[in-house]
């Protein structure tokens, strides 16, 4: 008998609606698959339909293998309830279209797992005018959260938002004048700092949201998955020193498989123990705390106002009112 996850899970049935952004590979893939294997209705919000379709096929094959192994806790049905919805986090228009599609098809949302991301990308700006990692990792997820929160508020008890952040926030800096890094050239733009910054902003958003959601059915938490062997290195494959860092970390047993990395996210999302937990930064499947900079309330407020400004064409007065 296989053991599956090594922690208890809340009951997961087809009426439990889950969104995993970037669910076609890596940490998001494993998270979507396991939550679906336990019985939930899962939407993977991805930029490529082809990659998502292949991922869903693979999830179903692996589900059959887990069943054959006798893994505990899996649902009785033979086919996973996983579906693709188009989302390109590098485009606010695509993000808005995803939100509209979701609202047309679904009336509830219980788990919003904000995982899609890119790391240490070279300096690049989106068509919306924002630094790429800022928009993909943070801004688009902020828009999704703002628009889907009202649905979550009406979806019954124990609804959770989990943001996949990173220990890269430990090397971040907070400077509103440099938030888009436009004063830098490609040569002196610090890819690590701007990746860390995007992950810092996610944590700051968690603190700001929890202040507003205090005493509601929706909690917000963050996770760091560890150093995980996924496709994340695609965006920094030209940086030799990071390749060496990954190789050395692997050599000394410091890396995780996608499943091991996903466990921290799955645990934060469905372990009943964390029903009312807020403001945690989970690492290695345990709640911990983020750094001092991320807890600075003055900076959190500055970032919140700035973000609302970035999204002024996308958020109505009513959306903003609902966020207060």
Ligand X SMILES: NC(=O)c1ccc[n+]([C@@H]2O[C@H](COP(=O)([O-])OP(=O)(O)OC[C@H]3O[C@@H](n4cnc5c(N)ncnc54)[C@H](OP(=O)(O)O)[C@@H]3O)[C@@H](O)[C@H]2O)c1
Among positions 24, 172, 197, 264, the unique one binding ligand X when judged by CB under 6 A: 24
- 42 lies in the site for ligand X, by CB under 6 A: no
* Number of residues forming the site for ligand X (CB under 6 A): 30
Instruction: Tell me whether residue 89 or residue 109 sits nearer to ligand X (CB atom).
Output: 89
> What ranges make up the beta strands (E) of 152-309?
159-164, 218-224, 281-283, 286-288
What are the C-alpha distances in Å from 292 to residues 165, 199, 212, 268? 15, 14, 21, 22
Touching ligand X, residues 218-277 (CB under 6 A): 224-225, 227-228, 230-232
Token couple for 2: 């296989």
Q: Minimum distance between the CB of residue 117 and ligand X, rounded to whole angstroms?
A: 2
Residues in 207-226 that interact with ligand X by CB under 6 A:
224-225
From the CB of residue 211, how many other CB atoms can be counted at a distance below 10 Å? 15
In this structure, are residues 53 and 84 in contact, taking their beta carbons and an 8 Å threshold? yes
Q: Which is nearer to ligand X, 158 or 260 (CB)?
A: 260
Q: Which is nearer to ligand X, 233 or 296 (CB)?
A: 233
Nearer to ligand X, 110 or 256 (CB): 256
Nearer to ligand X, 248 or 320 (CB): 248
State which residue, 110 or 224, has the beta carbon closest to ligand X: 224
Report the candidate in 297, 228, 309 with the shortest Cα–Cα distance to residue 262.
228
Q: CA-CA distance, 156 to 48, in Å (whole number)?
A: 32
Rounded Cα distance between 224 and 287, Å, is 10
Is the separation of the CB atoms in 171 and 196 below 8 Å? yes
Asked if residue 88 binds ligand X (CB under 6 A), the reply is yes
Task: Find the helix or strand (DSSP H, E) in which 19 lies.
Answer: strand 17-21
Helices first, then strands: H and E counts in the chain: 10, 8
**Secondary structure of the chain: what % helix, strand, coil (to 5)?**
50, 15, 40
* Paired tokens of 251: 């050599």
User: Contact, 121 vs 133, CB < 8 A?
Assistant: yes
Active-site pick, 195, 274, 281, 299: 195
Would you state the structure tokens that stand for residue 285, as one six-digit string?
């499947």
Among 9, 28, 102, 218, binds ligand X (CB under 6 A): 28
For residue 92, state whether it binds ligand X (rule: CB under 6 A).
Answer: no
Among 4, 51, 192, 308, binds ligand X (CB under 6 A): 51
Residue 314 annotated among the catalytic residues of the structure: no
Footprint (CB under 6 A) of ligand X, residues 133-152: 136-137
Site for ligand X (CB under 6 A): which residue of 16, 18, 25, 33? 25
Check residue 166 for interaction with ligand X (CB under 6 A).
yes
Candidate residues 10, 41, 117, 278; the one interacting with ligand X per rule CB under 6 A: 117
10, 40, 42, 89: which one binds ligand X (CB under 6 A): 89
Active site residues: 195
Per CB under 6 A, residues contacting ligand X are 22, 24-28, 46-48, 51, 87-90, 115-119, 136-137, 164, 166, 224-225, 227-228, 230-232
């Amino acid at each position: 008998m296989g053991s599956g996850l090594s922690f208890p899970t809340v009951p997961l049935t087809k009426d439990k609606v889950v969104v995993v952004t970037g669910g076609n590979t890596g940490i998001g893939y494993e998270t979507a698959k396991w939550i679906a294997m336990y019985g939930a209705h899962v939407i993977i919000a991805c930029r490529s339909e082809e990659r998502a379709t292949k991922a869903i096929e693979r999830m179903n094959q692996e589900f059959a293998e887990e069943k054959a192994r006798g893994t505990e806790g899996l649902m009785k049905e033979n086919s996973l309830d996983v579906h693709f919805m188009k989302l390109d986090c590098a485009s606010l228009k695509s993000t808005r279209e995803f939100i509209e599609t979701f609202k047309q098809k679904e009336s509830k949302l219980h788990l919003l797992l904000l995982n899609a991301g890119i790391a240490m990308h070279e300096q690049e700006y989106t068509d919306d005018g924002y630094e790429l990692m800022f928009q993909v990792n943070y801004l688009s997820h902020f828009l999704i959260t703002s628009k889907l929160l009202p649905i979550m508020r009406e979806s019954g008890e124990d609804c959770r938002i989990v943001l996949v952040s990173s220990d890269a926030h430990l090397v971040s800096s907070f400077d509103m004048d440099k938030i888009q890094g436009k004063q830098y050239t490609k040569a002196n733009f610090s890819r690590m700092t701007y990746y860390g910054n995007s992950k810092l902003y996610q944590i700051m958003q968690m603190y700001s949201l929890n202040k507003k959601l205090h005493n509601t059915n929706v909690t917000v938490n963050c996770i760091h998955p560890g150093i995980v062997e996924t496709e994340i290195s695609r965006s920094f494959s030209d940086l030799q020193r990071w390749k060496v860092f990954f190789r050395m970390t692997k050599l000394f047993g410091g890396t995780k498989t996608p499943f091991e990395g996903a466990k921290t996210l799955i645990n934060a999302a469905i372990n009943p123990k964390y029903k009312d937990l807020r403001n945690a930064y989970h690492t290695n499947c345990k709640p911990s705390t983020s750094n001092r900079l991320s807890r600075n309330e003055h900076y959190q407020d500055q970032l919140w106002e700035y973000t609302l400004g970035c999204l002024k064409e996308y958020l109505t007065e009513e959306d903003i009112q609902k966020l207060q």
